[in-house]
Amino acid sequence: MLNSALANYIVTNYVALHPAPHILRYIRIQKYQQSDAMHRRLAHLSSQCHVAVADGDLSTVEELETEVNKVAAKVWHVTSEELKAIQESFVESVHAGQGGSPIRNNGEEGSEG
């Protein structure tokens, strides 16, 4: 969940205003529950991302990040339209020098400059 576009957007914009480690108080992240299909899906995607990064397979990482973002949006009850708006706003803030590295916009964004 913390690697999702939603969490990155919240953290980047919050920390820009209030730099402090207590940000996790403001992001609702449920404790992992094996019985929850979305939790299991996120765990599986995370494992796949780690393997792809270790292998240097960046195209697979991009695809997996897109899926992580979609699942995280479902967990947080964010619509696909809202997710897209968040991603676009985050990319704009990165390009304006407001944040860290850009996030993937459902495979459409991700390049700097």
Question: What's the whole-model pTM score?
Answer: 0.66
30 near 7, Cβ under 8 Å?
no
Residue range of the domain that includes 14: 5-95
* 109 inside domain: no
The pLDDT of residue 97 is 63
**Confidence label for 110 from pLDDT (cuts 50, 70 and 90):** very low
* 67 inside domain: yes
Summarize the confidence of residues 97-101 as an average pLDDT: 50
2 near 42, Cβ under 8 Å?
no
What CA–CA distance (Å, rounded) separates 12 from 108? 20
| Res. 12: pLDDT tops 50 | yes
Tell me: the pLDDT tens digits for 37-70? 999 999 999 999 999 999 999 999 999 999 999 9
* 78 inside domain: yes
Task: Count how many domains the chain has.
Answer: 1
Single-letter residue type at 102: P
* Residue 27 DSSP code: S
What CA–CA distance (Å, rounded) separates 81 from 22? 29
